Copies of this chain bind each other. A is one copy, B any other.
């Protein structure tokens, strides 16, 4: 690794842990921290190694996308799951963790093209920084490198990875059909986020369990945990779009509202409103171009319904469901990290 590549030092993993798992997490997990730091550093190195291209522009674009790819929560969950299942070295899952991180990043890059996003994690989004053509192509490149990494594994794992990607894009298409439309309802919403967010985390953790030669029950438990955690994460995301701190999030608020995504908060608020206010909410929500006043009005109407508290409770219920899925996995500091990750997904501020 050269200096130009982002690395995961002990400091930054501590920051990740306290931000996503609570301030006391580094202290509580002090015994296992060095192992996870090494895991994440090695996964990052593997990831950056495969991004090298003979074309500096493409390497630069791909690495830029990965350096704004978020909190590395997926590789952390994969490493912790592998160790919670008894692995003393996570080397066998490094390529797979890098592959899933690349798939996640590729989907974010194409999302940002589709959603006209300007910012991602405090930096210009890929299409903003490199232009639409390079953003589309760099997303493809990340998918391609992910599949090359997956080629290290048995066919069943490659196919599981592929199916999760298919779920991911199905979720995108399904989401696109419901834009600016509040009548699609909760069932549709959960179908979208199960595919967009749940399936890929489920596939990642189930694959780790398979590589650890876990029993079928444990593989299923890991899949259920990943799916529920992914859903908790996404439900929380909906709230942060309205009530988060834009500096912490690294992007402006209200992007879901602007793009007409019927989030769970919007659906809950709409379901609770009656009469003229319901009509007003629906009408403003459907506007293709919303003024700042429109966005604030939607938020005010949402506040009046109490929807945010109910949605926060729903995120927590998904986190608890994730945690119950871990029953077949024996207690360990790594299992504790998984438990805290699920609660963190539902409580996080960024």
Contact = CB atoms under 8 A, between A and B. Distances in A.
Given A148-B158, A151-B162, A166-B145, A173 B114 contact: no
A183 interface: no
Contact of A110 (B53, B136, B150): B136
Contacts of A151: 155, 158-159, 162
Given A54-B170, A55-B174, A147 B158 contact: yes
Contacts of A165: 140, 144
A113 interface: yes
Contact of A137 (B57, B133, B138, B172): B172
Contact of A173 (B107, B134, B144, B176): B134
Nearest to A166: B144
Contacts of A163: 148
Contacts of A173: 55, 57-58, 61, 133-134, 137-138
A141 interface: yes
A143 interface: yes
A169 interface: yes
Given A144-B162, A158-B147, A169 B110 contact: no
Contacts of A58: 169-170, 173
B148 A162 contact: yes
A87 to B, nearest CB: 23
Interface in A96-128: 106-107, 110, 113-114
A132 interface: yes
A152 interface: yes
A272 interface: no
A215 interface: no
A35 to B, nearest CB: 29
Interface in A51-101: 53-55, 57-58, 61
A326 to B, nearest CB: 28
A177 interface: yes
A114 B143 contact: no
Given A113-B136, A176-B133, A176-B134, A147 B170 contact: no
Nearest to A54: B170
A247 to B, nearest CB: 29
A163 B144 CA distance: 8
A56 to B, nearest CB: 10
A136 B114 contact: yes
Contact of A169 (B137, B158, B172): B137
Interface in A167-220: 169-170, 172-174, 176-177
Contacts of A134: 173, 176
Given A144-B143, A144-B162, A173-B57, A137 B155 contact: no
A308 interface: no
Given A114-B133, A133-B176, 16 more contacts: A53-B166, A53-B170, A55-B173, A61-B173, A114-B137, A131-B176, A137-B169, A137-B172, A137-B176, A138-B169, A140-B165, A144-B165, A145-B162, A147-B150, A148-B163, A151-B158
10 contacts: A53-B170, A55-B173, A110-B137, A113-B136, A134-B173, A143-B143, A143-B144, A144-B169, A147-B147, A148-B159
